[in-house]
Amino acid sequence: MAEFTMELNDEQKEVRDWLHGFAADVIRPAAAEWDEREETPWPVIQEAAKVGIYSLDFYAQQYFDPTGLGIPMAMEELFWGDAGIALSIVGTGLAAVGVLANGTEEQIGTWIPQMYGDPNDVKVAAFCSSEPDAGSDVASMRTRAVYDEAKDEWVINGTKTWATNGGIANVHVVVAVVDPELGSKGHASFIVPPGTPGLAQGQKFKKHGIRASHTAEVILDNVRVPGSCLLGGKEKLDERLARSREKAKASGGERVKNAAMATFEASRPAVGAMALGTARAAYEVALDYAKTREQFGRPIIDNQGVAFQLADMRTQIDAARLLVWRASWMAVNGKPFTAAEGSMSKLFASETAKTVTAQAIQILGGNGYTREYPVERMHRDSAIYTIFEGTSEIQRLVIARTLAGMPIR
């Protein structure tokens, strides 16, 4: 077990500086254009692939960093560049992690390379979980997968929403209900190969922020996939469902629900790190502006009203990083989140991003309200962090019920 430390080692510093350079030189100069276009920034993704950032190998190296700091460090730097473009770069990782976590070696070797493509022909993947009536409440999922034993095929029907890369992806990973009586434990994940009949893009959402990231509905109408596309395989699924049924009988279903929530709890620090990157970017713009902008014959940072805002902004950012890094270290080292530390980190960092970006606009005054300065875009982008991967209200509920020793529903 790695000791918890706030000091990055030399290798981590080298990776951080490399990512920061890419974010500064490639992502930031393109940010305003792709935000206005509201399109997937394929040229930027291709550049990321050429240097090795858009690849499974890179994210695997960060994920298996024993300190737990690899992923949050990478997320902070990329999202410091721009949230929309960064999400387009890392969005495929959601689907890849789903395959890595649940797939067989053969499935991993077959499908993950197809998710990324190569630097000359980049591909993207989509992870499809949320539904119109099942966002925070994963137990309300309605998309069904029924096994056709005669053909060894699964038939999937339903509608997914808020899917990053949904409809434009080469490979879709779809979560569906296979046993409704088991709630979230009755779900399974399926690969939908490219060109599969019945899968179509629904509405593409025109969003308030992160507009360079493609977000859409995915319609599944009698989508048939081979039995080999069930992640983990049929035998493993049957064994898991049997165990879940026994646990549900023994515990009234509570252990089933808690196990599902624990999975989300472990992934939330990464979203906190995304928010942290956006907050830090806005703070740095505001700090530079306050040092150079003069009113009444002196820089505005000489005024306590501005200086105190900057002091609060920096304090919140540093506190958010502490929470994110602590939760990331705990997750990698198998420390139980006895006080919902994962949700704490995501909650505080998300709210910090909204607060800090709003304060940055205030410090820049009229300039901050225009698109000539990036803080306006950063503020729009920051709103998503308190919504996706569990709203701030859900985070508070998880924390409160954990502290009270109550089941998380």
Say whether pLDDT at 227 is over 50: yes
Q: What is the average pLDDT across 338-365?
A: 96
In this structure, which CATH number among 1.20.140.10, 3.40.630.30, 3.30.479.30, 2.40.110.10 belongs to the domain 125-250? 2.40.110.10
Contact 320, 279 (CB under 8 A): yes
389 is catalytic: yes
Q: According to CATH, where is 1.10.540.10 located in the chain?
A: 10-122
Q: What is the pTM of this model?
A: 0.91
pLDDT at 189: 94
49 and 102 in contact (C-beta within 8 Å)?
Answer: no
- Checking if the pLDDT of 400 tops 70, the result is yes
Provide mean pLDDT across the span 226-235. 95
Of 22, 67, 28, whose CA–CA distance to 49 is shortest?
22
Per-residue confidence (pLDDT) for residue 138, from 0 to 100:
64
Q: Does the structure show a pLDDT above 60 at 260?
A: no
User: What band does 133 get if pLDDT is binned at 50, 70 and 90?
Assistant: confident
- Of 3.40.710.10, 1.10.540.10, 3.40.50.10880, 3.40.50.2300, the CATH number of 10-122 is 1.10.540.10
CATH topology for 256-403 is Butyryl-CoA Dehydrogenase, subunit A; domain 3 (1.20.140)
**CATH 1.20.140.10 residue window(s) in the chain:** 256-403
Instruction: Tell me the per-residue pLDDT of 286-326, one tens digit each, with 9 for 90 and over.
Output: 999 999 998 999 999 999 999 999 999 999 999 999 999 99
- Helix/strand/coil for 126: strand
Q: Which pLDDT score is estimated for 63?
A: 86
**CATH 2.40.110.10 intervals, the chain:** 125-250
- Neighbouring CB atoms inside 10 A of 209's CB total 20
* Environment class of 197 (CB within 10 Å of its CB; exposed 0-12, middle 13-18, buried 19+): exposed
Q: What is the reported pLDDT for 234?
A: 92
pLDDT at 256 over 50: no
Chain mean pLDDT for the chain: 92
Joined together, the tokens standing for residue 351 give 């709210």
What is the average pLDDT across 94-107? 90
Can you tell me the mean pLDDT for 221-235? 96
Three-state SS at 41:
coil
Classify the C-alpha dihedral 245-251-254-260 as positive or negative. Answer: negative
Cα–Cα distances (Å) from 392 to 42, 345, 349, in that order, read: 32, 11, 10
pLDDT tens, position by position, 41-97:
999 999 999 999 999 889 889 988 999 999 999 999 999 999 999 999 999 998 998
Catalytic residue among 131, 217, 376, 389: 389
> What is the rounded CA–CA span in Å between residue 319 and residue 91?
26
In angstroms, rounded to a whole number, what is the distance separating the alpha carbons of residues 318 and 197?
A: 49
